[in-house]
Amino acid sequence: MTDSRSRILDRIGRSTGGHYDADTIEATFQALSHQQTGAPVQPEMGLTDPVATFTAEAGRNGARVAELESMTQVTQWLRDNVRDATTDANFHLSPAIIGRSLDWSGLNTTAETPAAAGSWGVVQAHTGIAETGTVMSLSDECPSGLLFLVERLVVVIARRDIVGYQEEAWQRLKARGALPRTVNWITGPSRTADIEQQIQIGAHGPREADYLLIDEQ
């Protein structure tokens, strides 16, 4: 299909006037993307306090936000909330959470593929985006599948990791170096409106989304 490739590019080139060889692509791309038109246009929504806006927007999009003080309170919060749940809970932890040596007594943690009802995922977000109440997770920190296979997803997020707008999240991402295979943005629980346009929460992904805000040094 190399011929298709060159024929498609030829036809495009007739309109763009571009003739690029492999060596100049990078330099031309850099030059062009630097002459971008001005500053980004961001939604006007009175965003002055990222944590406050994050909390409000996440709530509007169906996530529950809990205000905690530190990571050590996370497992107690889980114990308190499991008591209200109807099924036995199995906890699937992301590597970052496992690395924090928290007190898991009374909570059933497992490394199996989340399947049956009662599976909870506990992960830590890389960044929170206030603009839309969104959390960002990276597949070199947390397996992407975990975010989707559990019934209830608990995302821990440090207040200092919450930024205002999307552009700031890109800056943090680019500053890390090579991109992970998957960057996930999650805003609330999974949903569908495919049956008569009625919004139904809990499609293929989690039915519930909790964001726990903590302080970290």
Partner 1 sequence: MSQVQTQEPQPDFIIRSRAALEDNHLQEALEKAGSGFVYKRQAAIERIGNFEQLRDQARQVRVRALKHLDLYLLHFEKKVQNAGGQVHWAETPEQMREIVIGLCQAQNAKTATKGKSMVGEEVDLNEALEAAGVEPQETDLGEYVLQLAHERPSHIVAPALHKTKAQVQSLFRANHALGERALDEVADIVNEARAVIRDRFLQADVGITGANMLIAETGTAAIVTNEGNGDLTATLPRTHIITTSIDKIVPTWEDASAILRVLGRSATGQDITTYTSFFTGARSERDKDGPEQFHIVLLDNRRSELLGSEYEEMLHCIRCGACMNHCPVYQAVGGHSYNSVYPGPMGAVLTPLLRHEEQDNQLPNASTFCGRCESVCPVRIPLPGLMRKLRDREQREAKHASVSTLAVKLFCRLSRHPVLYRRLTHFSLKLVSMIRGRKSRFRTLPLMSGWSRHRDFPAPDNGSFQSQWQQRHKGTNHD
User: Which residues ranging from 47 to 106 are in contact with partner 1 (CB under 8 A)?
Assistant: 57, 61, 95
- Nearer CB in complex with partner 1: 73/139: 139
Cβ atoms within 10 Å, residue 151: 22
Over the window 136 to 155, marking each residue x when it contacts partner 1 by CB under 8 A and - when it does not, the resulting string is ---xxxxxxxxxxx------
- Nearer CB in complex with partner 1: 131/210: 131
Residue 200 found at the interface with partner 1 (CB under 8 A): yes
| Options 74, 163, 184, 211; binder of partner 1; rule CB under 8 A | 184
Burial (CB < 10 A; 0-12, 13-18, 19+), residue 126, is buried
Rounded least distance, CB 105 to partner 1, Å? 26
Cβ-Cβ contacts under 8 Å for 54 (sequence gap 6 or more): 65, 128, 129, 130, 133, 162
Question: Could you identify the residue written with the tokens 């990078």?
Answer: 26
- Nearer CB in complex with partner 1: 58/89: 58
Residue 18 found at the interface with partner 1 (CB under 8 A): yes
Rounded least distance, CB 80 to partner 1, Å? 26
Let me know: does 126 contact 49? Beta carbons within 8 Å.
no
- Nearer CB in complex with partner 1: 83/174: 174
Cα dist from 161 to 69, 133, 190, whole Å: 14, 13, 23
Let me know: does 13 contact 19? Beta carbons within 8 Å.
yes
Rounded least distance, CB 68 to partner 1, Å? 24
Residue 198 found at the interface with partner 1 (CB under 8 A): yes
As a whole number of angstroms, the distance between CA 71 and CA 63 comes to: 19
Residue 109 found at the interface with partner 1 (CB under 8 A): no
